[in-house]
Amino acid sequence: MRLVLVGPPGAGKGTQAQFLASHYSIPHISTGDIFRANLKDGTALGIQAKGFMDRGELVPDSVTNEMVRDRLTKDDLSNGFLLDGFPRNVAQAEVLRAILAERKTPLSAVLELAVDTAEIILRLSGRRVCRNCGKVWHVEFDKPADPTKCDICQGELYQREDDKEEVITRRLEVYQEQTAPIIAFYRTEGLLITISATGSVSDITERAITALSRVQ
Ligand code: AMP
């Protein structure tokens, strides 16, 4: 199963990706997570990406494409992979198609998580992340007992710089302008499957697995 997950910020791509990756026994490759890990470790890649990420802009394709190309050469992809957060524009989609064509391992499907803008703003502005274990909480929908600490590991919770309201607005604009066109691209390729991403996390996972069962 070689999958791309696409949808606006706050659609729940990261959450669904974890469940789907475990269901299909494939690695979850999140470009946002790779950038954040690099940022945390203070690598050159992290330093290059930081300004773009803090502003809610896309990191330049030259940087992102090389990072993905490199990740796709690792030897843990025999069952496939789930890409989350890549591609984010048509140029990246074309690069991905070329990388996979070289290896004769084309995508199986592109799953679009559809959710409306008002819901996205609610979800993202209330999102808090554990600095220690990375678990994602929500100030209203998934509260820890102590609003400042992770229930699981007692780590400190923080708000991602790009989950602040002014940055969310910019990320949504960037999504509409740059990422939404890949939906038409993949529809034309006959790869697009769209599901609604509202409701409980488990309902959405079930919807996704049902929709994807037509692919295998
Ligand atoms: P995410 O966690 O997927 O929302 O990504 C967080 C941030 O990382 C984005 O707002 C971008 O700044 C950067 N990023 C992640 N994936 C990409 C990509 N495919 N192309 C460019 N920038 C990206």
* Residue closest by Cα to atom 1 of ligand 1: 32
Q: Select from 35, 33, 61, 37 the least CA-distant residue to 49.
A: 35
Residue 36 Cα to ligand 1 middle (Å):
9
Q: Is residue 101 part of a domain?
A: yes
Q: 13, 36, 123, 128: which one is catalytic?
A: 13
* Residue closest by Cα to atom 2 of ligand 1: 32
Pocket of ligand 1 contains residue 58 by CB under 6 Å: yes
Q: Is 123 a catalytic residue?
A: no
Q: Is residue 37 part of a domain?
A: no
C-alpha–C-alpha distance, residues 216 and 208, integer Å = 13
Contacts of 86 (CB under 8 A, 6+ apart): 4, 29, 31, 64, 68, 92, 96
Domain of residue 203, residue span = 2-26+79-215
C-alpha–C-alpha distance, residues 109 and 82, integer Å = 10
Q: Is residue 51 part of a domain?
A: no
Q: Is residue 154 part of a domain?
A: yes
Residue 31 tokens, joined: 């470009």
Residue 145 Cα to ligand 1 middle (Å):
30
Q: Is the pTM of this model over 0.85?
A: yes
Q: Residue 103 belongs to a domain with what CATH number?
A: 3.40.50.300
pLDDT tens per residue, range 157-211 = 999 888 998 899 999 999 999 999 999 999 999 999 999 999 999 999 999 999 9
Q: How many domains does the chain have?
A: 1
Confidence of residue 216 (pLDDT cuts 50, 70, 90): low
- Whether 1 and 28 have beta carbons less than 8 Å apart is answered as no
Q: Select from 67, 13, 14, 62 the least CA-distant residue to 38.
A: 67
State the pLDDT at residue 215: 87
pLDDT tens per residue, range 57-110 = 999 999 999 999 999 999 999 999 999 999 999 999 999 999 999 999 999 999
Q: 2, 36, 88, 123: which one is catalytic?
A: 88
